[in-house]
Copies of this chain bind each other. A is one copy, B any other.
Amino acid sequence: MKNLQTMIKEQGQVFPGNVLKVDSFLNHQIDPELIKAIALDFAAYFNRSSITKIVTIEASGIAPALMLASHWGIPMLFAKKSQPSTLKNDHVYHSPVYSYTKQTETRISIDKAYLTSQDRILIIDDFLAQGQAVLGLVDIAKQAGAQVAGVGICIEKSFQAGRNRLEAAGLDVYSICRIAALDQGKISFLEEDKFCGQ
């Protein structure tokens, strides 16, 4: 089975501003074998039985979220960053998400029809840094009266505030790779070689 940490070590590139480029396998070009391994790792940690839906944000969260939804046989739902012409304002839940990397605010939205108080969702995303994207999804879940079973992250920048913010909100956060630092182009991990199935 492919190992996310090994792929990051071999192909990840560090850019100024604590940016980790992993677009050769995770969020531009995608290695489907790695995405499957990631989905199985999430499936091993979270308890499928109570989860009705996987929720993520376009675009980079879609691949791991879909693969897990496919493995579990439940729907996947991705929040949109721009509102389609077919969705009117009063038909969506929305929340503002600030990106520290891009220094812009995006309004994410989900059709009210697809998230209800009957849902217990698992949130999946490719990166966790400041936690803004996940908190936006949690805000939308709250508006819908849906429960959040947990948060599954591919790559966590553990030197940033995201995990603390999510844990302070009472969320169970599971990250496959936790990065301790991105100093001078070097990537160091909190734990070595932790990856389900290895």
Report the separation of the CA atoms of residues A80 and B102 in the bound assembly, to the nearest whole angstrom. Answer: 15
A32 interfacial contact with B, CB 8 Å: yes
Of the candidates B15, B17, B35, B70, which one forms a contact with A32 in the assembled complex, judged by CB atoms under 8 Å apart? B70
What DSSP secondary structure best describes chain A's contact surface? Answer: mixed
Q: Are the C-beta atoms of B28 and A80 separated by less than 8 Å?
A: yes
Q: Which residue of B lies closest to A110 (CB)?
A: B28
Cβ-based interface call for A59 (8 A): yes
Copies of this chain: 2
Decide: A23 near B75, CB < 8 A? Known: A28-B80, A85-B15, A102-B85: no
Which residues of A in the span 45-94 have a Cβ within 8 Å of any Cβ on B?
58-59, 62-63, 66-67, 69-70, 73-78, 80, 84-86
Asked if A29 meets B75 with Cβ closer than 8 Å, knowing A24-B114, A85-B102, the reply is yes
- Asked if A113 lies at the interface with its beta carbon under 8 angstroms from chain B, I say yes
Nearest 5 Cβ contacts at the A-B interface: A58-B59, A32-B70, A59-B59, A21-B86, A29-B114
